Amino acid sequence: MKIAVLSGKGGTGKTLVSVNLAAAAEESVYLDCDVEEPNGHLFFKPGNFYEEEISIKIPAADEKLCSGCRTCVNFCKFNALAFIKDRLIVFDEVCHSCGGCILFCPERALNEKEKTIGKIQKGISGQVTVNTGILNTGEASGIPIIKKLLDENRTNKEIISFIDCPPGSACIVMESIKDADYCILIAEPTLFGVHNLNMVYELVKLFHKPYGVVLNKCQDGENPAERFCNEKGIRILGRIPFDNELGTLNSNAKIAVRENEKYRTVFLSLLETVKKEVRHEAAVNP
């Protein structure tokens, strides 16, 4: 069972929910796909037993074979190549690793070398296997890292996994939810929250993923996000009240379900609801 947790914007509670659901379960896998700003590990503080660098392929020229024809320079749509004083210069950070230059070089003068763009870490925190993806600052795309994180988890069918997605609805979010069996959308009870919820709602529909909403930071009075869900017929999986204590625990990077029974109850109940939804979906839409 693979559950993706997403929201239109940062700060709504993706990490709060995914970390606590993972911690509440008997045994689980947590995957931090927010590779630009991974925060899950700050809560789990996992003992890491494994680390792997992730790299992409960048071209390098064999000067003896290069004839200076500039086929590669002219082909590159990203302007990652320049030919100066009989030497080819490759700009690593601009290169998208498409392989075109290598393919089309008439002299076969280009080869590939590996460039590290980030890493993945695996660790244990209680009964949770914590997988963290980290993109090095300055690198363009975290997609290869997310791909690796999810690839490694692909064969896992028995242990429930929680995918903490990047905020927004850009290509890295799409990559993160590709494998998910179910998507939990987190929404804040504000006008901004609804606008952002709508974005991820459109996204999960586009990808035909079953979904439900968790309303976070609920207070008394109007909840525009709840109204939105009712209008669109979106299932509300649970409501987490705005709670100073919860907020403080979270801002101190403490896992609520491990600190206080009352939160354990809240998240266990949410977990059961989610599991029921997933099983229902699997039965109705195999």
Partner 1 sequence: MKQLLILSGKGGTGKTTIAGAFIKLSAAKAYADCDVDAPNLHLIMDQNSEPGRRDFYGLPKAEINRELCIKCDRCIQNCRFEAILMNEEYLIDAFTCEGCGVCEAVCPVGAVALKPAAAGELMLYLDEGKIFSTAQLKMGSGTSGMLVTEVKKQMRSAAEDAELAIIDGSPGIGCPVIASLSGVDMVLIVAEPSISGISDMQRIIKTAEVFRTKAAVCINKYDTNPANSEMIEKLCRAGNLPFVGRIPFDPEAVKAINDGLTVVDVDCPSGIAVREVFNKTIKLLFDASTIAADI
Partner 2 sequence: MKIAIPVDDKKMEASVCISFGRTPYFMINDTESNESIFIDNSAAASQGGAGIKAAQLLVDHKADVLLTPRCGENAAEVIKAADIKMYKTMPGSARDNINAFTEGKLSILEEIHAGFHGHGEK
Binding site residues, partner 2, CB under 8 A? 73, 76-85, 87, 89, 91, 93-94, 138, 140
The one among 48, 127, 248, 269 contacting partner 1 by CB under 8 A:
248
The one among 60, 73, 159, 174 contacting partner 1 by CB under 8 A:
174
If one asks whether residue 192 binds partner 1 (CB under 8 A), the answer comes out as: yes
The one among 121, 131, 176, 250 contacting partner 1 by CB under 8 A:
250
Among left, alpha and beta (phi > 0; psi -120 to 50; other), residue 253 is left
Of 1, 28, 21, nearest to 186 by C-alpha is 21
**Residue 251 buriedness (CB in 10 A; 0-12 / 13-18 / 19+):** exposed
Task: Report residue 94 as tokens.
Answer: 């601009």
Pairing status of strand 128-135 against strand 160-164: unpaired
Query: Residue 159 or residue 174: which is nearer to partner 1 going by CB?
Result: 174
Write phi, then psi, for 267 (nearest 5 degrees): -75, -30
Query: Residue 60 or residue 159: which is nearer to partner 1 going by CB?
Result: 60
If one asks whether residue 258 binds partner 1 (CB under 8 A), the answer comes out as: no
Write phi, then psi, for 279 (nearest 5 degrees): -65, -40
80 binds, among partner 2, partner 1, none (CB under 5 to 8 A by kind): partner 2
The one among 55, 73, 83, 98 contacting partner 1 by CB under 8 A:
98
Return d(Cα 250, Cα 228) in angstroms, integer: 27
CB of 152 to partner 1, least distance (A): 17
If one asks whether residue 285 binds partner 1 (CB under 8 A), the answer comes out as: no
Write phi, then psi, for 238 (nearest 5 degrees): 180, 165
Structural contact between residues 24 and 113, judged by C-beta atoms closer than 8 angstroms: no
Structural contact between residues 32 and 132, judged by C-beta atoms closer than 8 angstroms: yes
Write phi, then psi, for 169 (nearest 5 degrees): -140, 25
CB of 193 to partner 1, least distance (A): 9
75 binds, among partner 2, partner 1, none (CB under 5 to 8 A by kind): partner 1
Interface residues with partner 1 (CB under 8 A) are 8-12, 15, 36-37, 39, 42, 75, 77-78, 96-100, 103-104, 137, 140-141, 167-171, 174, 188-192, 195-196, 199, 202-203, 206, 219, 221-222, 224, 244, 247-248, 250-253
